[in-house]
Amino acid sequence: MRACIVYDPIYLEHDTGNHPENSRRLVSIMSYLEMNGVKDKLVAVEPRPATMEELMAVHEPEYIAMVKKTAGDGGGWLDTDTVMSSLSYEAALYAAGGFIRAVTAVVRGECDSAFALVRPPGHHAVASQAMGFCLFNNMAIAAKFALAELNVRRILIVDFDVHHGNGTQDTFYDDPRVLYFSTHQYPFYPGTGWVDEVGRGEGAGATVNFPMAAGWGDDEYLVAFQEVMLPIARRFRPELILVSVGFDPHWADGLAMMQVSVSGFARMMVMLRDLADELCSGRLALTLEGGYNLDVAALSVSAIFDILLGSSQITEDSLGKAPKRAPGGFEERLDKIKAIHHILT
């Protein structure tokens, strides 16, 4: 199986200092991929900057201009969480365009799957506002591009970052062509993503949220994928699967309280890879969102590339087992979501 990687040093130029979302994330990932030989097995895809037209498919022109001006003025804080430097606008253009290139490579058959290792991340960014470390919504921009330019009619977006992808949900909330499925800690930032957020108008039913209680881990995530994501995806029959990848559900990530392991991420990816093979000729593209423990990020990206390259062998998490026991209430949550979305048991 051919797997593509999208990466460029421009992503390191989004200088956030000691902010949790910093360039050391990608340095650690790329160093590990080179050290263990995985990088040599991948097809390199050069990113390009997103065009103004591509940005405006999701974001308001005034907001784009404000981000550009802030960079031109040397950077600054866009909200209490999101900071820019002088090169952040350029990096953000290449982040959005990098994921467009990943999606294009998969749809046009340059590779079977692709992982865009980009920053800044994107899934919180809404039409007129930066949020949660995100400037432009890389996922939404690339999905809009696929619908408009690549003759893709139905897209499944899976988001397993620990935070709900409110910006991605907002973009497609009334769009029946995009099925959005998210697992995320709840209640937690940004405060959205409860089970009753299901879409609007023609998009009603095409948003599926599985809010997770703090302390749930591999077992709960895998059941959510197996018993909710898979049947809904098979009913929807996507022509392309896109994934917002966040490693902050890992038990060692200090910004959240979930108990997923590297092995858990790999098992989720096996499901997504096999689903793509089953439904859409293997067309699967991933983009990096959160995940702030450097070892977790490096190990998890490597494990995911192993899966994308065709392995089904799941190795144990070298960081050890999750230290906490999961709280109760999962079965009740599962049953409620199944009832809302008419999933037969």
User: The domain spanning residue 322 has which CATH number?
Assistant: 3.40.800.20
For residue 315, the model assigns a pLDDT of 79
Instruction: Check 14, 59, 123, 124 and give the catalytic one.
Output: 124
User: CB neighbours (10 Å) of residue 69?
Assistant: 10
Assigned domain for 345 exists = no
| Bridge partners (DSSP) listed for residue 179 | 156
Assigned domain for 312 exists = yes
Is 132:155 a contact under the CB 8 Å cutoff? no
Question: Who contacts 201 (Cβ-Cβ below 8 Å, separation ≥6)?
Answer: 174
What's the average model confidence in pLDDT over 13-25?
98
Is 5:115 a contact under the CB 8 Å cutoff? yes
CA distances from 101 to 114, 166, 243 (A): 9, 23, 15
Could you report how far apart the first and last alpha carbons of the chain are, in Å?
Answer: 34
| pLDDT grade for 323, boundaries at 50, 70 and 90 | confident
Residue tagged 């619908």 (tokens)? 147
Is 162:256 a contact under the CB 8 Å cutoff? yes
| pLDDT grade for 324, boundaries at 50, 70 and 90 | confident
Tokens of 36: 């263990």
The rounded mean pLDDT for the chain is: 97
Cis peptide before 49 (omega within 30 of 0): no
CA–CA distance, 143 with 140 (Å, rounded to integer)? 5
Assigned domain for 245 exists = yes
How many domains in the chain? 1
Assigned domain for 251 exists = yes
**Entry pTM:** 0.98
Assigned domain for 85 exists = yes
Assigned domain for 52 exists = yes
What's the average model confidence in pLDDT over 80-100?
98
Active site (annotated) includes residue 250 = no
| pLDDT grade for 107, boundaries at 50, 70 and 90 | very high
- Residue 265: which domain range? 3-340
